[in-house]
């Protein structure tokens, strides 16, 4: 065990962790943010996607020792109930989730895609969105990404997306 400093969603944490602990478990079990999910454990499914310095990564295979000094952003850090991110709002508007388990990773991948390509084509989306959805909501995911792209183009850079109160939570 060693002292590990993590900067998660703008907040600093000093934790006593095994340096080889996957970032996923540090975020979930020690920081207490449960939105990032465990799926496969081998960086294939994408349920554990979060951002390191703005880039999407599969947190189930990255040891905490490899993230020193990097900014970690989880699904909890991209929006709030008062100010949803445009992608979160589009997910609600398009009713993307079926079971919902993979959706935090899907949203994090979509946020990154839209940062890199504000007006993605279907091919751009298909190439960038490598996360797996066992329910097969890929068409709704694509539609939501296009909706979010349109919303983000219309919004001034400082205006938050409109917020809705969620009816319930799935997959907690």
In Å, what is the CA distance from 100 to each residue of 18, 58, 113, 148?
A: 31, 18, 20, 18
- Topology at the third CATH level for domain 2-77: Ubiquitin-like (UB roll) (3.10.20)
Cβ neighbourhood burial of 157 (10 Å; 0-12, 13-18, 19+):
exposed
Q: Is the pTM of this model over 0.75?
A: yes
CATH of domain 86-154: 1.10.150.120
Token pair listed for 60: 């189930």
- Model confidence pLDDT, tens digit, residues 65-110: 999 999 999 999 999 989 999 999 999 999 999 999 999 999 999 9
Instruction: Kindly tell me if the per-residue pLDDT of 157 is higher than 80.
Output: no
Q: Give residue-wise pLDDT tens across range 108-155.
A: 999 999 999 999 999 999 999 999 999 999 999 999 999 999 999 987
The domain limits of the chain are 2-77, 86-154
DSSP string, 48-106: TEEEETTEEEETTS-BGGGGTTPEEE-GGGS--SSS--HHHHHHHHTT--SS-TTHHHH
């Amino acid at each position: 065990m060693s002292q590990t400093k993590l900067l998660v969603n703008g907040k600093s944490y000093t934790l006593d962790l095994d340096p080889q602990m996957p970032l996923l478990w540090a975020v979930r079990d020690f920081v207490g943010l449960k939105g990032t999910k465990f799926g496969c454990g081998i960086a294939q499914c994408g349920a554990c996607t979060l951002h390191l310095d703005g880039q999407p990564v599969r947190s189930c295979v990255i040891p905490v020792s490899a993230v020193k000094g990097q900014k970690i952003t989880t699904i909890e850090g991209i929006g709030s109930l008062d100010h949803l991110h445009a992608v979160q709002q589009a997910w609600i508007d398009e009713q993307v989730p079926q079971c919902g388990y993979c959706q935090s990773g899907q949203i994090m991948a979509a946020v990154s895609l839209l940062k890199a390509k504000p007006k993605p084509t279907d091919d751009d989306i298909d190439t960038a969105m490598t996360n797996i959805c066992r329910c097969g909501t890929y068409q709704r995911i694509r539609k939501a990404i296009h909706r979010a792209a349109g919303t983000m183009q219309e919004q001034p850079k400082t205006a938050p997306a409109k917020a809705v109160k969620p009816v319930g939570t799935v997959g907690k």
